[in-house]
Amino acid sequence: MTGAILLAGGRASRVGGSDKTLFALAGTTLLQRAVDAVAGADPITVVGDPVPGIAGVAWTREDPPFGGPAAAVVAALATWSDDPEWTYLLACDLPEAVAAASRLADARPLLPRETDGVCLSAADSRPQWLIGLYRTAALRRGADALPNKGQDASMRALLDDAAIAVIAAPDPETQDVDTWEDLSEARARLEETR
């Protein structure tokens, strides 16, 4: 069984505080793209403010809000009573969330038994922790070790003791939307592929 934690509660300061998850690309929002990417997962928990029209998900929020992605993971896990073996962890500002999640799912059966998860890497080879598929037990261990419910902790700290495989992915699968320019480029890229 596989669950999912979708992170949708950032400040979006580089786009003037606009809710990036509601940006439309090729007829759907970034948030809906993330939900579609993990279709079939159970549970699916979105950490952010509830959005009408998004079906099949539970909503929660880190307390206090804007505590960072590690705090968001801690908050989501706190709502689960029956853990799935694996958990997708995806930021909700990924135009290619479906392709990224598919790559992660394809990689999972190839992982060595002792591996705690897999995440994608961008062209610069840096792990993209928020595009990953992790053993839920590893996420729980990391979450339990963080002080202050993960407030202002890094994802690196949360995953510090986990054995994570990092696999290269095409640039579009790891490019998120942080700026208005990113949004324009993503829209143009998706139009080209339609």
**How buried is residue 125: exposed, middle or buried, by Cβ count under 10 Å (0-12/13-18/19+)?**
exposed
pLDDT value for 77: 97
3-state percent helix, strand, coil for the chain, nearest multiple of 5: 40, 20, 40
The residue-averaged pLDDT of 175-187 equals 84
Give the global pTM. 0.93
Tens digits of per-residue pLDDT, 6-16? 999 766 666 66
More reliable by pLDDT, 186 or 7: 7
pLDDT value for 165: 95
* Domain count for the chain: 1
Nearest Cα to 194, choosing from 34, 62, 26? Answer: 26
Q: Are the C-beta atoms of 103 and 132 separated by less than 8 Å?
A: no
Q: Which whole-number Å values give the CA distances from 189 to 94, 100, 102, 132, 186, in the listed order?
A: 13, 16, 19, 23, 5
The residue-averaged pLDDT of 15-32 equals 82
Tens digits of per-residue pLDDT, 102-140? 999 999 999 999 999 999 998 888 999 999 999 999 999
- The CATH number linked to 184 is 3.90.550.10
Tens digits of per-residue pLDDT, 100-112? 999 999 999 999 9
DSSP class of 11? -
More reliable by pLDDT, 151 or 17: 151
Domain that holds residue 55: 2-193
